[in-house]
Amino acid sequence: MIQHLSLNIEETAAVILFGIGFTILLLHRNLIKKIMGMNIMDTATYLFLASKGYITGRAVPIVVDGVQEVSAYINPVPSGLVLTGIVVSVSTTALMLSLTIRLYERYHSLDLDEILILAKEEERT
């Protein structure tokens, strides 16, 4: 199994980063660190996807010299998926950062547990 993992080294690295990012997003209390964890998780997924398309010894899928053989280029599909995914990741990061800014302006804290307690109290009064 270790040998198979070392053959798929990109996917192994991607999966380890995914687990780390997932846990940070779930369990850390600081909002900025959660957003960083989300970015690590998303980037790890794109690394995983991008390594799917790679074929050893072949070139980037841009047609040069009119060569259109399948054996000359790597698989173009995962590259397109990663393009879409990056834009989605940027959008959600921007949204979460703006929420963090507004929450910080209001409660002067970046700790999610504390913000929830302060919000609950503010509502009670």
Partner 1 sequence: MNFVQNFPFFSIILAMFSGIVSSVLDGRKARNLSLAMIAVTTALSAGTLLFCLGSGESYTFMMGHFPAPWGNEIRAGILEGVTAIFFGIIMFLAVLGGLDHTAEDVEEKKLNLFYIMIDLMLSSLLALVYTNDLFTAYVFVEINTIAGCGLIMIRQKGRSMSAAIRYMIMSQLGSGLFLIGLSILYDVTGHLLMSPARESVELLVAAGSYRIPMLVIMAVIGVGLAIKSGLYPFHYWIPDTYGYATPTASAVLSGLVSKGYIFLLIKIFYRVLGYDNLVSSQMVNVLYVFGITGMVMGSIHAIHETDTRRMTAYSSVAQIGYIYMGMGLGTSYGMVAAVFHIFTHSATKALLFISAVGLYEVSGDKKDYISLRGAGYRNPLAGIGFTVGALSMVGFPMLSGFISKLLFATSALESPHKMLPTIIVLAVSTTLNAVYFLRLVITLYSRRRPEDAPIPETRARSSWQLRLAILCFIGVNLVLGLASQPIVQAIRDGLAMFG
Partner 2 sequence: MSRRKDNYETSRWLKFKKWVDGETDLLSIGMEPEVPVSSEGKERRRDLARRKAYDQELIRLSAEHADKTAIMKARSIRYFQKFYKVMSVVLCLGIILVLLWTVASLPVTGNADNPANNEVAARYIEKGLQETGAVNIVTGMILDYRAFDTFGESCVLFIASCCVLVLLRLDADSKNENIRKMIAESDDRHFEPKNDIILQKCACVLVPVIMIFGIYIVLNGHLSPGGGFSGGAVLGSGLILYLNAYGYDRMSRLFTEKVYKRTTLCALTFYCLAKSYSFFTGANHLESGIPLGTPGAILSSGLILPLNICVGLVVACTMYAFYTLFRKGGM
Report how far residue 33's alpha carbon sits from residue 90's, in angstroms, rounded to the nearest whole number: 16
**Residues in 26-55 at the binding interface with partner 2, rule: CB under 8 A:** 26-27, 51-55
Choose from partner 2, partner 1, none: what does 112 bind? Cβ within 5-8 Å by kind.
partner 1
How many C-beta atoms lie closer than 10 Å to residue 41's C-beta?
20
Rule CB under 8 A: say whether 27 interacts with partner 1: no
Distance between CA atoms of residues 23 and 17, nearest Å: 10
Smallest CA-to-CA distance from 78 within 53, 97, 96 is with 53
Positions that interact with partner 2 (CB under 8 A): 1, 4-5, 7-12, 15-16, 18-20, 22-23, 26-27, 51-56, 60-63, 68-73, 75-80, 83-84, 86-88, 90-92, 94-95, 97-99, 101-102, 108-109, 111, 113-114, 117, 121, 124
